[in-house]
Every structure is written in C-alpha cells, then in structure tokens.
Chain A
Amino acid sequence: SQQGEEDPQALSIQEGENATMNCSYKTSINNLQWYRQNSGRGLVHLILIRSNEREKHSGRLRVTLDTSKKSSSLLITASRAADTASYFCATAVAGGTSYGKLTFGQGTILTVHP
C-alpha cells in the first residue's frame, strides 16, 4: 500500500516562482525523503529529514516535517525550467527490520514554464 500521498498531483508554474508540494503519511517514521524523477529516468535522491527534525535546507530546496500531522512539504524556490520533473516523497517506517525499505507516494508532476 502507498503510505505517502502527494498533493497536488500536478503543478504548473512560471520560471522564478516558488513550487510547494505536500506529502502525507500514515505510520510512524524514522525519516522522510524526497526524490526527483525526470521523464523516463530513474529517481534521484534530493533531501532527507529525520523524524526529530522540523526543517531542512539544501540549496533552493526547503523541507518541513510535522510528525504530529504526519505531513511534509517540499518548497523549491526561484524555480527553473530544468526543475520540471516528478517529485516523490518516501518514508522509512520506524522500528522493526525494515531492511532499508522505503514506501513511495504517488508523486507530484511539476512543470515550470520558461
């Protein structure tokens, strides 16, 4: 079953605008990660936030995590046409022998128009 659910399913913006994507999940987690996928390619890891962290930055990326609401958001500031891709959140379930397994959401398709 898909633990993570992204919102919106698709987002279309102009270059220079900010893009915000949200992710909700159901169970307790060790960490939450965001990945990017260009069309027809493999996924690339962007950023990881641990369950005891509330906010993390990496370049133009800002991730927040609210464990009480079981939600996360990814903000891409000053977007560029090259940011056009699908973005997925993935959760690592807390406890047990998860063997590094992640549960991926359905993704948000971001289109940035030049």
Chain B
Amino acid sequence: SQTIHQWPATLVQPVGSPLSLECTVEGTSNPNLYWYRQAAGRGLQLLFYSVGIGQISSEVPQNLSASRPQDRQFILSSKKLLLSDSGFYLCAWSPTGQAKNIQYFGAGTRLSVL
C-alpha cells in the first residue's frame, strides 16, 4: 500500500533562516506531487506541483522554492524565511494517468517563523 511521509511535524524558525521540508512517498512510482500552504485552518493554497523528477511548476510567486531530486521525494525550501511564511504546510500525491486525481495527504508541518 502507498504511504506518504512528511517531516518535521512542527518547526520554529527565526526570520531570515533557511527552510527545508521533506516529503516522501512509498509504494507507488511516478506520482504527481504537490505542496500546499494552509493559513488559519482554512482553505488550501497550492504552492508547487511536480509531474516528474526535476519538473516543478509554481502556482504562486513567493519566497519559497521546491525540488524533486528523486521520483518519490519532494522538498520545499527557502533561503531566508519571512514572518509571512508561517503556516501549515501539506504535501500530497496523486497517481498519474488516472482521471480521478484523488490526492493523498501527509500529516503536515506546522511552521512558525518568529
């Protein structure tokens, strides 16, 4: 069966520090991968999605970047965090080649930038 791992669960970082959040998927190959940010427990904002290794699409211009160095690994990064980067970050995957495009989510990372 497929599983998705996202870590860390919580993170407190000072303004101006770098960021690296990691997400890995097991039990499937060539998944579509997504990074979302959720503010105040409400709607999800799609930040990045990837359809393959090294293929990253950005949905919203911002202080963050994403990379996919391996088929089932998706990394969210920042060189210098801003206060506005605080939020709940969610990684998700969906199978390719299916019209259903159901997404499966990780447990999330709560990021506080102080």
Contacts and interface: CB of A to CB of B under 8 A. Distances in A.
Contacts of A98: 101
B43 A107 contact: yes
A61 interface: no
Given A40-B108, A99-B49, A100-B94, A45 B102 contact: yes
Contacts of A100: 32, 49, 94-96, 98, 101, 103
Nearest to A47: B102
Nearest to B100: A48
Interface in B86-114: 88, 90, 92, 94-96, 98-108, 110
Nearest to A105: B43
Interface string A22-51: 000000001101000101111111001000
Nearest to A9: B42
A69 interface: no
Nearest to B103: A102
Interface residues of B, number: 30
Interface residues of A, number: 28
B42 to A, nearest CB: 5
A62 B42 CA distance: 23
Contacts of B42: 86, 106-107
A27 to B, nearest CB: 15
Contacts of B34: 101
Interface of A: 2, 30-31, 33, 37, 39-45, 48, 86, 88, 90, 92, 98-107, 109
The list of the 7 closest CB pairs from A to B, nearest first, reads A42-B105, A100-B101, A106-B43, A104-B44, A100-B94, A100-B32, A43-B105
